[in-house]
Amino acid sequence: MPAKMNTAKKRFAICIDNTDYEASLIIRKIYEVIPDEKAEKDDFIRVIDESGEDYLYHRSHFILIELHIEVEQALTSV
């Protein structure tokens, strides 16, 4: 049986401010956003940062973006 593909639309954000997080975030880099409804209610987003782990950051550090499907696939392929 073929593996089930994850069809959920991934979200991405560009870092525009890494103040106090210079080791964790790179300005102008695209980061994958992990869904976290509770955090988003408080203006935070969860991203996979330079450590390779997901952490909460204030939304003001990022601009949420939409990517063309080919770009999204290239960023998420292993």
Across 22-51, average pLDDT:
96
H/E segment holding residue 37: helix 37-41
The answer on pLDDT for 34 being more than 60 is yes
Confidence category of residue 78, pLDDT binned at 50, 70, 90: low
Nearest to 36 by CA among 17, 13, 52, 69: 13
Confidence category of residue 5, pLDDT binned at 50, 70, 90: very low
Q: Return the pLDDT at 75.
A: 81
Q: Which amino acid is at 53?
A: E
Across 28-57, average pLDDT:
96
3-class secondary-structure state, position 11: strand
Domains belonging to the chain, first-starting first, are: 11-69 (2.30.30)
State both tokens at 23.
């080791």
For 5, list phi and psi in degrees, rounded to 5: -85, 145
Give the rounded percent of residues in the chain with a pLDDT score beyond 70: 88
